[in-house]
Amino acid sequence: MDLLAEKFRKLGTDNAPGQEVRQRLGQDTPALKGETLAGRPVDFSHGDVDAFVPIPGSFDVFSEGVARGGAQAYTEYRGSLEIREELAGRLAAFTGAPVAGDEDLIITSGTQGALFLAAASTITRGTKVAIVQPDYFANRKLVEFFEGELVPIPMDYLNARDGAGIDLDVLKAAFRQGAKVFLFSNPNNPAGVVYSQQEIGAVARLAAQYGVTVIVDQLYSRLLYDGESYTHLRALETGEGGLITIMGPSKTESMSGYRLGVAFGSPEIIGRMEKLQAIVALRAAGYNQAVLRCWFAEPEGWMAQRIREHQAIRDDLLAALRQVDGLQVRTPQAGSYVFPQLPALSLTGLAFVRALRVQANVIVTPGTEFSPHADASIRFNFSQDHAAAVQAVQRTVEMIARYRA
């Protein structure tokens, strides 16, 4: 069991978003300074679906699914063909490249499910996998779970003038030295930056040149702020290695409680993902699949308003954070994450996160979940009640002052 013990040791979730409830106060708890700060608790580890509610009509569509009975409960492992066909057209229009509903698309248990299946279908022991730092914490864990070899790709998002700031020279060197898979999120989670057309073009060319399989998590690509533009990798030529794009309605559309995602792209990889899904969970919950009917079919103006509201929160949070001397933060171009780098503190980033929770009723995700080099950063998911979010960030600012080195 040693191999397994080691594998599961690496799979720690103690500091993962939403798992704070399992933390025991103990030796990791920092020596606290000062009094508790009063205010409405805000859990920035995930979006608040009570503040931003699911797509109008989604529950009705679910109810219709239940009423359909067996036909909706039991679908192919890759999901209902009828729904896949509907989605394929919409996703093709959104991403600018064709999607065949029958062969190119699978419905999964959330985008996490899609990431797991895509990783399992392309990574085995010894597979070199290029992973951006920082990036979504599960990417690293997936590589470790499948015993791949992680090849870190730095992203200087704080100083990049244009785009995400990925180091394309390091990416090229990684591919040349045998990386077979490149797994990344765009917009980047946690930094909220969007890869430029030039960066995505370079990723496509390098993937084609070296036959690399690319898995791109585009979960937040619809929540794009004023003046920003987005380049879909799948609209470019990426070569023989194959490309899987992952999206889902859990974030911008607030449907996380239904656990739905999709992966689309190279049919060989999608085929593997289906075979695996059969033993992982059989299928995404049949009734829930029905809810995808209202995705990319939202009422006129609904998405525009959602973007506007998030942009307003973003701007207020940035204004508050930028008053902190020595704090660095990049303006998120898309999505609902902001990832400031704090000034030097008298305690570790992890300890500060715990103090923040205990003393200020503010839950954030520590930067080390996203990169070993991000101990000084914390991630906020600002898809929250606007006023509560602003007040919670003000408390955070006060806590930074309190624990400044």
Does position 46 bind its own copies by CB under 8 A?
yes
Least separation in angstroms between residue 339's CB and its own copies is 20
* Among the listed residues 36, 74, 326, 387, the single contact to its own copies using CB under 8 A: 74
Does position 387 bind its own copies by CB under 8 A?
no
Does position 79 bind its own copies by CB under 8 A?
no
* Among the listed residues 15, 37, 72, 151, the single contact to its own copies using CB under 8 A: 72
Does position 1 bind its own copies by CB under 8 A?
yes
Cα distance between residue 361 and residue 366, in whole Å: 15
Q: Which of 369, 267, 373, 390 is nearest to 319 (CA)?
A: 390
Least separation in angstroms between residue 121's CB and its own copies is 7
Does position 100 bind its own copies by CB under 8 A?
no
386-403 and 302-321 are packed helices; what angle lies between their axes, rounded to 10 degrees?
A: 20
Nearer to its own copies by Cβ, of 232 and 272: the residue is 272
> What are the Cα distances from residue 39, in Å, to 15, 29, 42, 385, 395?
23, 22, 9, 13, 8
Does position 190 bind its own copies by CB under 8 A?
no
Q: Measured in whole angstroms, how far is the alpha carbon of residue 362 from the centre of its chain?
A: 21
Least separation in angstroms between residue 319's CB and its own copies is 26
Q: DSSP for 353-399?
A: HHHHHHHH-EE-EEGGGT-TT-TTBEEEE--S-HHHHHHHHHHHHHH
Pairing mode, if any, of strands 213-217 and 181-185? parallel
Q: DSSP for 25-80?
A: PSTTSPPP-SPPPPS--EETTS--TTTSPPPTTHHHHHHHHHHHTHHHHS--TT--
Nearer to its own copies by Cβ, of 16 and 208: the residue is 16
Does position 220 bind its own copies by CB under 8 A?
no
Does position 66 bind its own copies by CB under 8 A?
yes
Cα distance between residue 188 and residue 134, in whole Å: 8
Q: Describe the chain by its helix, strand, coil percentages, rounded to 5.
A: 40, 15, 45
Pairing mode, if any, of strands 243-247 and 260-265? antiparallel
Nearer to its own copies by Cβ, of 109 and 221: the residue is 109
Of residues 351-380, those binding its own copies (CB under 8 A): none
Of residues 142-181, those binding its own copies (CB under 8 A): 142, 145, 180
Q: Measured in whole angstroms, how far is the alpha carbon of residue 300 from the centre of its chain?
A: 26
Does position 7 bind its own copies by CB under 8 A?
yes
Q: Which residue has the tokens 């879909």?
A: 232
Does position 303 bind its own copies by CB under 8 A?
no
Q: Cβ distance 263 to 246 under 8 Å?
A: yes
Cα distance between residue 78 and residue 106, in whole Å: 5
Does position 63 bind its own copies by CB under 8 A?
yes
Tell me how many residues contact its own copies (CB under 8 A): 67
Does position 285 bind its own copies by CB under 8 A?
yes
* Among the listed residues 34, 69, 89, 98, the single contact to its own copies using CB under 8 A: 69
- Stretch of residues binding its own copies (CB under 8 A), selected from 58-66, 295-303, 352-360, 365-373: 58-66
- Which residues lie near its own copies (CB under 8 A)? 1, 3-4, 7-8, 11-13, 16, 18-19, 21-22, 46, 48-50, 53, 59, 62-63, 65-66, 69-70, 72-77, 81, 108-110, 112-113, 115-116, 121-122, 124-125, 138, 141-142, 145, 180, 256-259, 272, 274-276, 278-288
